[in-house]
Structure 1
């Protein structure tokens, strides 16, 4: 615990700091993320001193329960908020390292993910969350990402402002060095707690902070400003990349959700990479490693017409089918056994949802309806007076992507020999169960998760 005198309620905060927390994006409720450390405690007191009372002010503390003094940090946040008359939302989380990563990196990433998950759950539309990252944090982030081989998007560092869940976060202290913030905190008589893990150089960020950046700052006193200018330049480049990708998406897409291979292939390799990165990020999916990226693009474009090449990412795949590229998020598994579809109940089937709704005045009883996946030998009669055809042929005629065919929900009505296929996922539904006034008196509604 770093102890100061009782906080000086009359302390005159520097004009630059006050301007930083008064010049905020529009919001209807203000939150401060507080850990109990120097930076967040200073931001909490600074915000309280500058808050005009026009919108509610509250604080969030996420206790990761990783350190022996985690309880002390929580208690300090509680005391500080009580002294400032600010309501505090405390969330305790359990953190487990992600498999496949070094233990330290896994814990760091898991803790961050757990923290932001809590923020997303708490924030509502119009909410703004202030976070206390400063110029030293930004320099660490840029250098850390440089060592990981990040592109301009990563080297732009932490954004000042971005969406989190239904709200937004804002980092008002990014222009300020930690040394200056510590001086102001001591002058104001603030109390904060030092996280012992911040000195453990087994963590990469701590090694950069204590063994690399400290030496660099002593040799180049203007280091933080230089890094900030480089990060700003990278941010501008990233913005231009996004503008280019948006224009090329309009030129290369099918107008819906796929890329036309012929038009995509006409782009240069850097443009192809940029467009795919933009597409992946637009779908809120994690960017894949740059390793093997060029070979994957080569295969997706140039593999024979009888092939269906794909690239597997983390939580998604890029696939080619009928001269188009598809971005396919990994889907939850479909039920392994047939299930009944009952009126008034929503049935979840992989990425699909199914409901059976009555018309305003149903004249027929509820039919027995079951949902299943393809077993082989199914036939479909698309038109009442037309001939039936095998489901395999129908899939080919309709251009249903091959990866969807095994998991598509098939909806049947009736029993035994009288059983009929009345719907195939969200691709087709019999007139008997669709339209404004379905003849069966019951309307089948099939939707899929937005992807």
Structure 2
């Protein structure tokens, strides 16, 4: 057995360490994120003492010279404790955005693995402790974070299909280190943890010790600050949700009149919440007031917009739209075959036969607007300009350009039979389509 795999004979961990780990409940599978360092090694021992069937996952970032030795240590540790271990190597790729250094890139890679690993009902335990929380609050303060950032790390949150829990968040690192030594545990230190070119290491090794010497009990003070900011953030989110519901609670549209009736702080709060609800990050702007003024005060015939990461905020008439980046459309028209699914940008299009289907049918093709198209609502009725019809329906310009137009017949004699999910000829819809074929056009709004 590897030395240090189990606590020294006769040593019992105190209830102050065991109780928060025991309190984790309601899981299908319980995982421990095992780096091989002191904190996660101790957490694994505590989890094994408190719960049956514990699993572990080790992320090998392949960045340090001792990465292979640390992986072997984790294998031996888990083998000695009878814990199934998943080893996941990752390649860390540096981004080119602000704050996307090596630390952030490694974190993104690590959490990407965790999200893919966790299944519904799974809980992943992470060994963040009180010093980590203090470090996080200060780090975010220096980066200019608001109350959401200064709330620090939550004790629990969703992650992928499962949940993340940090049972040691209220315990100081010195206490963890004391009991790890008393228990005779061994671990592997990451040599990069002493490199002060990384901001967090500089905070941990230089700034925090000086602050703690000046203000004893600093961790508890910062915990209190994080708690107060967490409550403020909760109230901000609750207020934004109530205001959003009062404005019609549409996922990607907000009425300009409703937003304009709010104060500037309320406008900013609602927009941040609304963007976050859609799964995006609100842009970091030095002057939100100017941006909001451009978006909300523009005349109805203007189309101001704000481009952000993965989406654009657009103004059309009296509404503000959140428009995700959409996949590219085909360069050429696509012919739609029977029982075939065509993915057209954000659209999914199918042609299904019904009980009255005939073997032969006219060709059907999909394309975008070229200009001059006309539609006919009834076979013998008058035609109407598609451009004018879309304007009457207040379809935003950027959506008009992407709408799939579906035509039946040979080129030069074609008939428009569907316009996205806005309209479909009665010959191809309903419970018994006249043509014997049902045209299904759906928009993927995820």
TM-score by length of 2: 0.95
Give the superposition deviation at 1:207.
Answer: 1.0
8 Å contact from structure 2 (residues 8, 184) kept in 1: no
Corresponding residue number in structure 2 for 1:47 = 47
Structure 1 distance, partners of 2:76, 2:361, is 61
Distance 2:55 2:432 in 1: 52
The 5 Å alignment of 1:149-160 reads 149-160=144-155
Q: Is the 8 A contact 1:364 1:440 kept in 2?
A: no
Checking the alignment, whether the CA contact within 8 Å between 2:362 and 2:410 is kept in structure 1 is no
The match for 2:7 is 8
Within the candidate set 69, 85, 90, 1:88 is matched to 85
Deviation string for 1:269-314 (max 9, x for gaps)?
Answer: 0000110011011111012103232211111110112101111111
Relative to structure 1, the CA distance from residue 6 to residue 21 in structure 2 (aligned partners, 3 Å threshold; closer, same or farther) is closer
Contact 1:410 1:421 in 2 (8 A): yes
Which residue of 1 is the match for residue 33 of structure 2? 33
Name the structure 2 match of 1:402: 397
Alignment partner of 1:71 out of 64, 68, 73: 68
Q: Give the equivalent residue in structure 2 for 1:346.
A: 341
Q: Do structure 1's residue 179 and structure 2's residue 185 form an aligned pair?
A: no
1:95–1:110 Cα contact (<8 Å) kept:
yes
- Rate the CA distance shift 1:110–1:447 in 2: closer, same or farther, 3 A: farther
After TM superposition, the structure 1 stretch with the greater mean CA deviation from structure 2, 11-20 or 417-426, is: 417-426
Q: 1:256–1:436: structure 2 CA closer, same or farther, 3 Å change rule?
A: farther
- For 2:351 and 2:27, the matched residues in 1 are separated by 41
Q: Partner of 1:443 in structure 2?
A: 438
CA distance in 2, matches of 1:286, 1:351: 21
Q: Aligned partners of 1:386, 1:398: CA distance in 2, in Å?
A: 20
CA deviation digits over 1:61-106, x for unaligned, max 9?
Answer: 121112222112221111111111111112111111111336xx42
Separation in 1, partners of 2:362, 2:82: 61
Deviates more, 1:285-294 or 1:275-284: 285-294
The 1-side partners of 2:5 and 2:79 are apart by: 13
User: Displacement of 1:212 after TM fit?
Assistant: 0.7
Structure 1 residue 334 corresponds to structure 2 residue 332? no
| CA–CA separation in structure 2 for the residues paired with 1:122 and 1:228 | 30
**Pair 1:284-2:279 in alignment:** yes
Residue 244 (1) aligns with residue 243 (2)? no
CA contact (8 A) 1:364 1:441 kept: no
Q: Distance in 2 between matches of 1:209 and 1:245?
A: 36
- Do the aligned residues in 2 keep the contact of 1:31 with 1:127 (CA within 8 Å)? yes
Using the size of structure 1 for normalisation, the TM-score is: 0.94
Say yes or no: does 1:117 pair with 2:104: no
Q: Give the drift of 1:364.
A: 4.2
Per-residue deviation at 1:391? 2.0
Residues 219 and 398 of structure 1: CA distance in aligned 2, closer, same or farther (over 3 Å)? same
Verify the 8 A CA contact 2:31 2:124 in the aligned structure 1.
yes
CA distance in 1, matches of 2:336, 2:101: 42
The reply to whether residue 433 of structure 1 matches residue 428 of structure 2 is yes
Number of matched pairs: 444
Residue 127 (str. 1) matches residue 103 (str. 2): no
Query: Does the alignment pair 1:204 with 2:199?
Result: yes
Question: 1 CA distance for matches of 2:373 and 2:338?
Answer: 25
2-side partners of 1:166 and 1:131: how far apart?
16
Quote the Cα distance in structure 2 between the aligned partners of 1:343 and 1:30.
Answer: 47
**Offset of 1:361 from its aligned partner?**
4.9
Q: Distance in 2 between the 1:366 and 1:143 partners?
A: 68
Report the aligned-residue RMSD. Answer: 1.8
What residue ranges of structure 1 are gaps of 5+ in the alignment?
none
Equivalent pair of 2:348/2:442 in contact (CA under 8 Å): yes
> SS of 1:384's equivalent?
coil
